[in-house]
Amino acid sequence: MSVTLDTKATNLRHDWSLEEVKALFALPFNDLLFKSQSIHRNNFDPNQVQISSLLSIKTGACSEDCGYCPQSARYDSDLKPEALMPIDEVLKAAKRAKDQGASRFCMGAAWRQPKDKDVDRVVEMVQGVKALGMETCVTLGMLTDKQTQTLKEGGLDYYNHNLDTSEDYYSEVITTRTYQDRLDTLERVRDAGINVCCGGIVGMGESDKDRANLLIELANLPNHPESVPINMLVQVEGTPLMGTDSLDSLTFIRTIAVTRILMPQSRVRLSAGRKEMSDEMQALCFFAGANSIFYGDKLLTTDNPMTNHDKALFERLGLHSGGSSYV
Ligand code: SAM
Ligand code: DTB
Ligand code: SF4
């Protein structure tokens, strides 16, 4: 099947079919990367990468059973649970991230869903981080309408809530909340006027079809998420997904390329898993259309490449940091 493409993305599409997306994945590698790079440079500065830093503001002891996650209370992952951080510590971390060059600060909490009083404390953090001149993102689990309103009124820029995988594969990974629960939270976030950060994880043992269907779910939402994190599973001892066969690097790069083609104006983030990737693989991901990273020595609870290494990589590739959300 041949696929016609609008490289300038004047018409963002929300009607991708499985056949079309499978055909993209099946293209010769060079043809796929040529297409994704053409779309990328028609919509973005091809050498600019947006930089976000993460902080776990409430760690571990989570009631959910997400099979990849070291923060679930159900698995024995050697992680020390920590209560919600005091605001001054959060702001110190944000200031450090800003000084290192991050433009967005993402705060993650290991909750199924926050309590209203938790949201009020997070709003104080958001306001403090914004006052430092950074964009803000939080990921707190499922939200109510009232909570999305509170976050919007508090000035939050982005909410991260991932679909994680295809609807078909989802129950293999998580049983304590449904795919529809995730879609409902995403709709609430969108309706409240907060930018959406939504992507998934690959390398969890899913099939080619599952990866295609995850990207279709994202692209066929009424609006494309402004940020699309593509995580490679970080395998953590004690979690059920530890020991999963690792995903072929070229398939990962193809996944980035197809994400760029389906969502031409979104920030595609090369997210978790970079520590296990070679510089050459990351370079191909940037060529395929990734233009955002998590930066800083830690993700939430696992290691990320050292900042000095990333700085050197940017220099070697002639990349510069900058840019915020949508084009
Ligand atoms: N508890 C909230 C939730 O699940 O919505 C927010 C924090 S949760 C850690 C945020 C996201 O991190 C998950 O949806 C998942 O996509 C990603 N994540 C968690 N553990 C991961 C791992 N081991 N490898 C890759 N991504 C992971
Ligand atoms: C996302 O898509 N990836 C980030 C962020 N959103 C919250 C989290 C990655 C977590 C990796 C495992 C850990 O460090 O605990
Ligand atoms: Fe809890 Fe989020 Fe981890 Fe799932 S991904 S176990 S909800 S912290």
Indicate the pLDDT class of residue 326, thresholds 50, 70 and 90.
very low
Q: Residue-wise over 27-63: b if at least 16 C-beta within 10 A, else e?
A: beeeebbebbbbbbeebbeeeebbbbbbbbbbbbebe
Task: Tell me whether strands 48-58 and 320-321 are parallel, antiparallel or unpaired.
Answer: parallel
Q: Which of 300, 301, 303, 304 to mutate to test the pocket of ligand 2 (most atoms within 8 A of CB)?
A: 300
Contact 230, 238 (CB under 8 A): no
Active-site residue list: 62, 66, 69, 106, 137, 197, 269
Burial of residue 240 (CB within 10 Å: 0-12, 13-18, 19+) is middle
In order of 73, 141, 184, 240, 259, the CA distances from 172 in angstroms are 18, 19, 20, 10, 23
**Tokens describing residue 309:** 């290494």
pLDDT for 221-233, tens place per residue? Answer: 999 999 999 999 9
HSE of 228, CA atoms in CB hemisphere, 13 A: 30
State the residue for tokens 């006052």.
131
How close is the Cα of 4 to the center of ligand 2, in Å?
Answer: 34
Indicate the pLDDT class of residue 11, thresholds 50, 70 and 90.
confident
Longest Cα pair distance anywhere in the chain, in angstroms?
A: 56
Phi, psi of 114 (to 5 degrees): -80, 160
What mean pLDDT value characterizes the chain?
94
**Considering the entire predicted model, what is its pTM?**
0.94
Which ligand 1 atom sits nearest the alpha carbon of residue 272? 25
How close is the Cα of 162 to the center of ligand 3, in Å?
Answer: 11
Nearest CA to ligand 1 atom 4: 141
Pocket of ligand 3 from Cβ distances under 6 Å: 62, 64, 66, 69, 71-72, 110, 112, 141
Q: Which of 160, 232, 235, 293 to mutate to test the pocket of ligand 2 (most atoms within 8 A of CB)?
A: 160
Which ligand 1 atom sits nearest the alpha carbon of residue 110? 1
Which ligand 2 atom sits nearest the alpha carbon of residue 229? 2
Give the integer Cα–Cα distance in Å for 70 and 67: 8
Q: Is the pLDDT of residue 201 over 90?
A: yes
HSE of 50, CA atoms in CB hemisphere, 13 A: 27
Quick one: DSSP state of residue 298? B
